[in-house]
Chain A
Amino acid sequence: MIKDYRILFILALAGFVLLGASLFKAFDQDFTKHQKNYYKQLDVEDYTVEIKQVNVKTPGKVLIDRCQSCHIGASNPDAAGFEPPLAAHPPIVPGVEKDPHDFAKIGCVVCHDGSGRDLDIHAAHGELHGWPAPLLKGEIAQANCVRCHAMEDGTLAGAEHYVKGQELFLEKACWGCHTIAGISSSSQAPELTDAGGKFSFDYLVESMVDPSANIANSKMPTFGWVHDEETVAAIATYLKGQQKDRLRSADSAPIGYIKPKSDLARIDSPSVAAGRSLFAGAPYEGSVAKGGCVNCHAIRNSDGDLAGGNIGPELTWTIRSRGSKYVKEHIVNSRSHVADSIMPTFKDYNDAELESLVSYLSTLDYKLGSKTDGPKLYDTYCVSCHGEDLNGEGKIAAMLDPLPRDFSKYQFVASYDKRFKDSIRDGVKGTAMPAWKDIMSDQQIETLVGFIKDKSLSGHDGFRRMEVTLPAIGDKERQDYRNKGLVVEAGNPEDGHEAFQKFCTSCHGKLANGKGPNAYDLEHPLPRNLINAAFMNQAAVNDARLYESILLGVAGTPMPAHDHLSDQTILDIIAFIRANTTEEAK
């Protein structure tokens, strides 16, 4: 029994000690220690340790701000040399006698975010998991300047980091895809007008450095500059500053609140120099740059040195292969030529700006000599899309749709001889493959085809593809092979639709856009987009080719043979596909 009393006594003691510990924890707060230290350093004898709270009243809300309980020396110049958190805040506005920001009135949270009412360092700095506004340290805090201030003439003293981010947003062509109200309008990618209100700084950085980190199927390219921390930090600061929910309105902004200039200075007479500036995303004669093609597209100078982004096709030969009309249309609406292009629509460009770009691109004249051998030709013209191993996985291939042809599938190379050369000479409409006839001579094309064939077919025995011909309608000799005795009739799109839903949609999708459920498991090349009108309506894609591809499959691709279908069914499917694209063309 005595033992029980002892246990009871010990537990009672332990309980009191632990309750005491909880009280001690409630009393023992960091700010007490910091304030004592602060007054000791200042040699102040007579002081009270207290919570310093600022209630920042704004039209919308009240920011509770107790940061200066620890950061007690923030506005005391005598504390300039103290260790953090006691040190004085460095000047915000450079070159003024007395900084206009009074921390006793505006507190800290206004600029630095975090959780103002918390006194525990981790909670206050917003480090706990899931806190929507983690602390913004140092230069990053400039993101919040625009919560109160307007940007007069696009600049604000002391917000250099933010201004740099704004310039980079234009220079790096972010504006091409992302909308920020008043700056750009594009529906390609998520709108960023409230980016800072929705996302934390770290999230914004992460989304730039690794676009698929947060959204697994993000289409955003990984740009070459993402390894430059300074650039990324500046852009992220600018984006963090994009908040719909501002603390001040036009009436109460501390510095005149001028609406952002929506009509920026524009280029009004075309010139090569203006085109070059637009291409590079640099300002041109006072106009704020709104270009930046170079972020995605590379070009070659006359010595053949390549420079630029690895996201879109190289533009050295574009004017020669596509013509200036095509290029202009493509800038304004790329989908008018290539149905699945990811290139943003730059519909805001005026004629002079388009003309400038085209004239700049026309100055690119790099060309290989007529005696060039196959490997050199391939490495110059083809490698960026079709890849060093001829496997269609060149460095820009990932962003192209349809994907570049994979020549390592020798069955394909062996099967289509004429079509192969024609595609190089005349290009393939509706895809990124241009016509090379104005750049390469027939001789060079022969050399190139020879090179690819040698490399692709070496080590393989030959491959021979069956030959089939398109059944002629009403031909008594050529009867439908499954329903023997029936004469094939002209294809009926409605029957074709039914057959398509039955046999084709798993890969080509219900919309026939090549995005069926099974397409996601397939690898290079992916199912054809059958409503890509430009592709479907070119001369090379005739009914005979469609018939052959459906019946026998396409060599070296996931498209299987469909010899279980009757001729009539195949003709119906072709009629359905055709009906789709003529509809589209209208």
Chain B
Amino acid sequence: MKKKTVYALLGVAVLGIAGFLISQALSSSLVYFILPSEYARDVESFEGRRVRLGGLVEAGSVQYDEQQLHLTFLVTDGIAGYPVRYDGAPPDLFMENGGVVVEGKFHDGVFVGDNLLVKHSENYHPPTDGSPIDVEELKESLR
């Protein structure tokens, strides 16, 4: 076998191993946010720790005081749900049954957020076709 061929095979092998390791590292450590049910399963380990909590805004749970800029709502993943308090205006794409990721800490069962991010689904369509938001699909996107 030529020297070049050996080097090429070695290179492919090294890259393959590197890729495998990267994928392992990413999938185990890069959990961008936790779900309410994951918090419920392991409350102690998250107490007082700064985390990102992600889920859907429960329909009918949103209360917003425009004067005081107090926003409260329930974030849920269909299994568990927790009240969220956020001092600030809701983002434009914040909506009931919409995805959110909140950065903050748990205090006595209430998640106090200081940063409210929107996680929208990958469904794009004009408003005229009258189809309601597919909540199941949104939940699927949060898994």
Q: Do A and B bind each other?
A: no
